[in-house]
Chain A
Amino acid sequence: MALENTDIQDKLVGTFGESAFNFQQERDIFSFEIKADKNTAIILFLKNDPTLQFHFLTDLCGVHYPDNDENHQFAIIYHLHNWYENKRIRIKAYLNGTPEIKTISNIFLCSNWMERETYDFYGVNFIGHPQLKRILNMDEMISFPMRKEFPMEDAGRTDKDDRFFGRTTINS
């Protein structure tokens, strides 16, 4: 018996009411939104429920939406995978301008570094994380480079002439 989208939806709505919403099949993945403060409860439920069994965290990443309203500035995206039924789901939790969400590193060991990476890139504070510090960038860095306002290029570079890259209008 395959695990149907409606089963997942019914179970979640039955247990968590309005904390899980906006269910839709997006291309090949069933996805929905959750309220950020319910993330650990919902993910733990998805993992431990005997029919759902989403026991593998495939991916966790952040997204920055500077143009959205105050309560949808950041999003954390979880991809879970049930290998028994071979079913993937995507969970999206929106956060406000001072992003904070509970850690799931006690549920899935692998989320430890993924959360650190997300913190490093976006400055999302994972509450209860055992070691929330930068992972890829230098510890001394103060900004969060994957936020949209952060420039990609190194501001201190001296070797490239802006005029030849179309980056300045002054052409003298």
Chain B
Amino acid sequence: MSELLLPPEHRYAKIIQEKLNEDGSELSILNLGPTHPATHGIFQNILLMDGEKILEAEPTIGYIHRAFEKIAENRPFYQITPLTDRMNYCSSPINNMGWWMTLEKLLGVEVPKRAQYLRVIVMELARITDHLICNSILGVDTGAYTGFLYVFQFREKVYEIYEEICGARLTTNMGRIGGFERDWSPEAFRKLDVFLEDFPVAWKEFENLFERNRIFIDRTVNVGPISAEKAMSYGFTGPNLRAAGVDYDVRVAHPYSSYEDFEFIVPVGKSGDTYDRFCVRNAEVWESLSIIRQALAKMPEGNEYHAEVPDYYLPPKEDVYHDMESLIYHFKIVMGEIPVPVAEIYHAVEGGNGELGFYLETDGSRTPYRLHFRRPCFIYYQGYPEMIKGALLSDAIVILSSLNVIAGELDA
């Protein structure tokens, strides 16, 4: 364990000595993580403690740094979706769609309305699973294991819908430039209907279990609050910012994929504490369900699921065997020989945890010159040490899980 002991020149050592000289009280250092079971994911925090109270925290990150941005500079554009999957793996379709939309912005591809609505549906499903995991795990951390087991069944249902759409459960790698790789099967829509029927009942029960629960309220109200100004300065976005009372939502500020066609409320909290974050996520799940229903109701007739852009959209495999032109397009796309303009693009989507941005710089070659992911977790996790200052150790765990920091997104 020697490598975990702090060197004598560390600032904690100074603080401890000062405090000891001042009034003889002994502070201690606690190493939380990186594999602590209560922190879901790998985060290391070296805490300076006065008994049970946290005085300071020093986070270390990078334990699953996988060099996404370096890989992205060496891969053709369509091979980058698998990387986006593995960033925020709780809501990978949002990341996939965000990446395709960035490329569509770059290439000037217009996506048909029906495909846009399908995208909205799958992105909102992803948001539901993301919030579902976060809130149920928050329940586990406050001692309510039941809620977790109960709603996790419905996450499986969403995964079944994903499987119908793209064949994969978690790392979906869904979509193409201009739409989807195939039309959604009738089975997907049927499963979606069943989900829309059953899930609200369970989610209502889940809410009832927590929202007025004395123990849960005692554990979360006024735990880890953050003011709106502080949150904005720390770059918070998404539910965590909205819990602090700022109604910023990329879906509203810069609508993409026809979000302007739908009516929904952007729920906001007041104090930015753990309870508010929980409630904002709960409310967003209801809004997501409403958006999905609206999208299904407004869905244009027909079976159009991708834009007619043969330069970028892979032809059907059968045609590749019989049709000269399809074979050429197929070859060009797979070899990454598609024409790409030289440009700088920034595109943002509202990910599960906030503004997920893609900054893409191209030089006309088959790979991005530079691709930077604006990862919301990475940015707002900076606020964590300040949020847990003065909190109890057990509260630090609850605050961490209510922030929904996803290690894959944090470390890229």
Contacts and interface: CB of A to CB of B under 8 A. Distances in A.
Q: Do A and B touch (CB < 8 Å)?
A: yes
Interface-central residue, B62, B357, B372, by most chain A CB under 10 Å? B372
B411 interface: yes
A11 interface: no
Contacts of A90: 344, 346
Nearest to A83: B248
Contact of A110 (B105, B254, B379): B379
Interface residues of A, number: 36
Interface in B200-247: 230, 232-235
Contacts of A136: 61-62, 65, 411-412
Given A27-B343, A29-B346, A110-B379, A152 B359 contact: no
B98 to A, nearest CB: 14
Interface residues of B, number: 39
Interface stretch (B69-77, B109-117, B298-306): B69-77
5 closest residue pairs by CB, A with B: A110-B235, A136-B62, A61-B372, A136-B65, A59-B374
Nearest to A92: B344
A170 interface: no
A112 interface: yes
A135 interface: yes
Interface stretch (A1-9, A37-45, A50-58, A159-167): A50-58
Interface string A90-109: 10000000000000000011
B359 A77 contact: yes
A56 B232 contact: yes
B335 interface: no
Contacts, number: 86
A86 B343 contact: no
Central interface residue in B105, B345, B346, by most chain A CB within 10 Å = B346
A113 B382 contact: yes
A64 B123 CA distance: 33
A123 B254 CA distance: 34
Contacts of A114: 379
A59 B69 contact: no
Contacts of B378: 113, 117
B253 interface: yes
A64 B70 CA distance: 12
Contact of A61 (B61, B359, B381): B359
A137 interface: yes
B282 to A, nearest CB: 25
B70 A152 contact: yes
Interface in B332-380: 343-346, 348, 355, 357, 359, 361, 369-370, 372, 374, 378-380
